[in-house]
Amino acid sequence: MRKSFRNMAAIGASLILGTTGCTLKATINQTTDTTSNITGTTSGAAWWSEDGQIKPDFKTTAFVTFNQANLQQDLAAGRGEYLASISRLLGVPANRQLAFFSAAQADYAETIGRDSTALLALLRDTSRAFIR
């Protein structure tokens, strides 16, 4: 009797895990398809490549869009990991990052309360002076 209980438990667990995996896969595919469709129709081009990676042209846009609140905190402070990350994405050399942080902080007041597009424009404009 104990052996049959183990077999039934194993079969039940297999069915549950198998069903969950299929549902999870379908849900992930539906989510990424929807995200691709949304970004493709709102930006004129999809952010994602066929293999699910963010296209190089959209890395800074995606970073600012998804991390806007944290980036704004770093800008207000004039330092932080999000500000360092965006500076690398924009191509600011490591030895010029501190100057970029100060310049971006000084210009930050212009974008308070505005959307991520305005914030990205500010960061791109500010970074131009620091890129060789």
How would residue 97 be classed by pLDDT, with cut points 50, 70 and 90?
very high
Handedness of CA 6, 11, 12, 17 (dihedral sign): positive
Whole-angstrom distance, CA of residue 3 vs CA of residue 12: 14
Quick one: pLDDT at residue 41? 45
- 54 three-state secondary structure: strand
Quick one: pLDDT at residue 108? 87
Percent of the chain with pLDDT over 70: 66
State in Å, rounded, how far the first CA of the chain is from the last one. Answer: 76
For the question of whether the overall pTM of this predicted structure is more than 0.75, the answer is no
**24-28, 76-80, 107-111, 116-120: which is most confident:** 76-80
For the stretch 19-78, pLDDT in tens is 445 444 445 555 455 455 444 444 446 777 788 887 777 889 989 999 999 999 999 999
